[in-house]
Amino acid sequence: MNKPLRRIAIFCGLLVFALLIRDNWLQYVRADELNSHKYNRRVTIERYASPRGNIIVDGKPITGTTATDDTDYKYRRTYVNGPMWAPVTGYASQAFDANQLEKLNDGILTGNDDRLFFDRTLSMFTGDKKKGGDVVTTLSGAAQKAAFEGLGDKKGAVAAIEPSTGRILALASTPSYDPSSFAGYHDKDAKAWQALEKDKDKPKLNRALREIYPPGSTFKVLTAAAALEYGKVTDINAATKTPEPYILPDTNREMVNHARNCENATLKYAMEVSCNSVFAKLGHEVGRDNMVKMAEKFGFNNGEIDTPVRAAKSVYDRNMDRPQNALSSIGQFNTNATPLQMAMVAAAIANDGKLMKPYMVEELRSPDLDVLEKHEPEEMSQPMSPRTAQLVQEMMEAVVNSDNGTGGKAKIKGATVGGKTGTAQHGELNKARPYAWFISYAKTDSGSPVAVAVVVEDSSATRDDISGGGLAGPIARDVMKAVLDSKK
């Protein structure tokens, strides 16, 4: 009877062996996948098991943590002035996961990041509770406040950048939401979340980064830069030989001007009053491929602009025909840009042609304030020569300062301001209310500390360029002034 007994022994051994293999498969091979599975609540429980680190602006936290009496989640996220900062922080909710900085820097904020291993080990011995690290942002409280209050109850967005470094100074979006309102997981949190989801104004949308708008006439500064860079215009004060009316190439469609005296206008004058015909003609002369090249140097068609929150892809169509390219050159047809993208355009011009990569996380800090990671400014591209940039600056400053310029409302005492207005028509047959745009920068003797792009949706403006200056201009001015004042 011993031979079958030995075989049964082998059989039992195989049963145990099968279990061991399966266990290795589960706990070694598939461990990460199961550990981060979307149904695995341990991730969220861990996120709120200890006080979460903070997001810092101007040395002060704009987030907080409060203890709960819950068995699952020991702590809950709170926000200081949540609606104003929501486009920066994003949210961290017990029921609805997290996004933006809260999500991207989750490891640091919860204290689980590998770089905090030493702190964790140390607190194990000292008996302290695990703590999260902090995320220090580049934002300016004053600029953000000016942007958020300037937008008020209008729908729109503001993005402001420091041109010489790419530091993001303001990132506002309205209507906004309070991430505290659904930070928990109770019924009221679910209700608040659902109300936001259903709201047709999309308050959760981060318009400054994640929404693309037709840039309208603000795109003309890019076309002007391309015309100068590719030698289509050498003197901004020379007549451009533009007929009136200008007929779009290969069509018999007339390019309508909302401004006067555009026939043979100089580039500078065309910029001041925003002549469609002049810029459509120049865009056509530069040609589609060169226009695409120029736009891409500024960041268009790039789906990976990470601040670290990823911005939506701004578009300058690569495959359109000649009349479409002419229309695109004045910011119509398929051309679309995020407010951040247009702020980048203004920033590159203000920075004498050099585009810095925009970022909003200055450094990551451990709970005991050691710097774990510091962000250094990084050059993204050089879309134009300093000479071209200075010429474009001269024209943009004329838009603000000259008598017939459209951007007069952005003037600031004690600083030089250059800007460009825009009113983007959109919707079927351009019936929808236009978007009012304003992009600008401010300059002092020590360089340019701020470039800003403002867009106001659904404006009740009439369809001329003054509306861009009228609605969006004052907001841009306030943001620039806030930055200038804080430098003093």
Partner 1 sequence: MSVVTNTTTIGAIDLPSRRNTELALLGFAVAIAVFAYANVGLAINGELPSGMLGYGLGLSLLAGVGHMAVRRYAKYADPLLLPLATLLNGVGLAFIWRLDQSERFQALKTFAPAASKQLMYSAVGVALFVAVLLLLKDHRILQRYTYISMVLALFLLVLPMFFPAVNGAKIWISLGPFSIQPGEFAKIIIAIFFSGYLMVKRDALALASRRFMGLYLPRGRDLGPILVVWAISILILVFETDLGTSLLFFGMFVVMLYVATERTSWIVFGLMMSAAGAVGVASFEPHVQQRVTAWLDPFAGWGKEAASEQIAKSLMAFGSGGTLGTGLGQGHSDLIGFAANSDFILATVGEELGLAGMMAFLLIYGLIVERGVRTALAARDPFGKLLAIGLSGAFAIQVFVVAGGVMGLIPLTGMTMPFIAQGGSSVIANWALVGILIRISDTARRPAPAPAPSPDAEMTQVVRP
Nearer to partner 1, 20 or 371 (CB): 20
Q: What CA dihedral angle connects 228, 231, 236 and 240, to 10 degrees?
A: -120
Residue 201 within binding range of partner 1, rule CB under 8 A: no
CB of 197 to partner 1, least distance (A): 19
**Could you say whether residue 16 binds partner 1 (CB under 8 A)?**
yes
Per-residue CA distances from 12 to 15, 22, 23 (Å): 5, 16, 17
Does residue 114 bind partner 1 (CB under 8 A)?
Answer: no
Nearest to 232 by CA among 277, 272, 279: 279
Find out whether 325 and 255 touch, Cβ atoms under 8 Å: no
We find the least distance from the C-beta atom of residue 429 to partner 1, in angstroms, to be 46
Q: Which of 377, 290, 356, 299 is nearest to 329 (CA)?
A: 290
- Judged by CB under 8 A, does residue 37 bind partner 1? yes
Q: Which of residues 164-193 bind partner 1 (CB under 8 A)?
A: none
Q: Cβ of residue 127: shortest distance to partner 1, in angstroms?
A: 8
Binding pattern to partner 1, positions 56-95, x when CB under 8 A?
---------------xx-----------------------
Please report whether residue 121 would count as binding partner 1 according to CB under 8 A. Answer: no
As a dihedral over the C-alpha atoms of residue 84, residue 89, residue 90, residue 95, rounded to 10 degrees, the angle is -110
Judge whether 40 and 97 are in contact, CB under 8 Å.
no
For residue 60, the surrounding DSSP H or E stretch is: strand 60-61
Reading the block at residue 363, the tokens are: 């450094």
Q: Please enumerate in sequence order all residues whose Cβ is within 8 A of that of 461, keeping only pairs 6 or more positions apart, or say none.
A: 423, 433, 434, 436, 467, 468, 470, 471
Pick the catalytic residue: 164, 217, 366, 467? 217
Task: Report yes or no: 374 and 362 within 8 Å, Cβ to Cβ.
Answer: yes
Stretch that binds partner 1, among 37-45, 197-205, 388-396, 479-487 (CB under 8 A): 37-45
Our finding on whether 31 is near partner 1 (CB under 8 A) is yes
CB of 382 to partner 1, least distance (A): 48
12 lies in the binding site for partner 1 (CB under 8 A): yes
Is residue 328 annotated as a catalytic residue, yes or no? no
The yes or no reply on residue 125 touching partner 1 (CB under 8 A) is no
Interface residues with partner 1 (CB under 8 A)?
1-9, 11-13, 15-16, 18-20, 22-24, 26-28, 30-35, 37, 39-42, 45, 71-72
Report the catalytic residues. 217
